[in-house]
Amino acid sequence: GAGVSQSPSNKVTEKGKDVELRCDPISGHTALYWYRQRLGQGLEFLIYFQGNSAPDKSGLPSDRFSAERTGESVSTLTIQRTQQEDSAVYLCASSQLAGAGFDTQYFGPGTRLTVL
Amino acid sequence: AQSVTQPDIHITVSEGASLELRCNYSYGATPYLFWYVQSPGQGLQLLLKYFSGDTLVQGIKGFEAEFKRSQSSFNLRKPSVHWSDAAEYFCAVGDRIDYKLSFGAGTTVTVRA
């Protein structure tokens, strides 16, 4: 596709339920990032995938959060047993290169998660 | 660890007037610096970036930013704003050792006619 896409655009769930958020990166981009944006705050890094290397999960806030990516394609971010403090916009970004230096990260429109 | 401060939460500017958004960072070496813009319902779009070299960086949509090492600042400017510049602007710093970006809390820009 032309850009990074994310689905769903909005998700409302009840406390305690599991949710899955999806990210489709730009074709050919080897690096994929997940960020969380709480209301009125900047973006917090969550997790990073680069090719087939082990992901960097250092930003995940708890073991309720996990993410997967198959090769250089779609990634899913899963939040188990959601809590109200998980309410935020979850942004995905991809870039062509990483590690050897910075390359522009292209962001998707985000998924707005509301936990009731 | 690096950090970014955007002192202004909200700025209102008249159409055609100049705009300056402040960004201060904390980092032990020369960082990678970025400005992103987020329009309602849109993802973040890169306006410009500084890696090295000329400290005055030109970006898209008529924006520019100046890296001042002595002040640990990377302020964003535009000489004449348009109504379409109303958005939220984020400054970010990237670590030269790893790939992670740290973002400021953002500045919301309102443009009045």
Per residue in A36-45, pLDDT (tens digit) is: 999 878 889 9
Out of A35, A40, A108, the one facing B105 most closely (by C-beta) is A40
Q: What is the pLDDT along chain B (113 residues), one digit of tens a residue?
A: 778 999 999 999 999 999 999 999 998 777 889 999 998 877 889 999 998 889 999 999 999 999 999 999 999 999 999 999 999 999 999 877 667 788 999 999 999 99
Q: Which residues of B touch A (CB under 8 A)?
A: 4, 32, 36, 41-46, 49, 51, 90, 92, 94, 98-106
**3-class secondary structure for chain A?**
CCCCEEECCEEEECCCCCEEEEEECCCCCCEEEEEEECCCCCEEEEEEEECCCCCECCCCCCCCEEEEECCCCCEEEEECCCCHHHCEEEEEEEECCCCCCCCCCEECCCEEEEEC
Residue A25 touches partner B, C-beta closer than 8 Å: no
Per residue in A43-84, pLDDT (tens digit) is: 899 999 988 888 889 899 999 999 999 877 899 999 999 999
Q: Which value, to the nearest 10 degrees, does the dihedral of the CA atoms of residues B60, A94, A56, A16 take?
A: 110
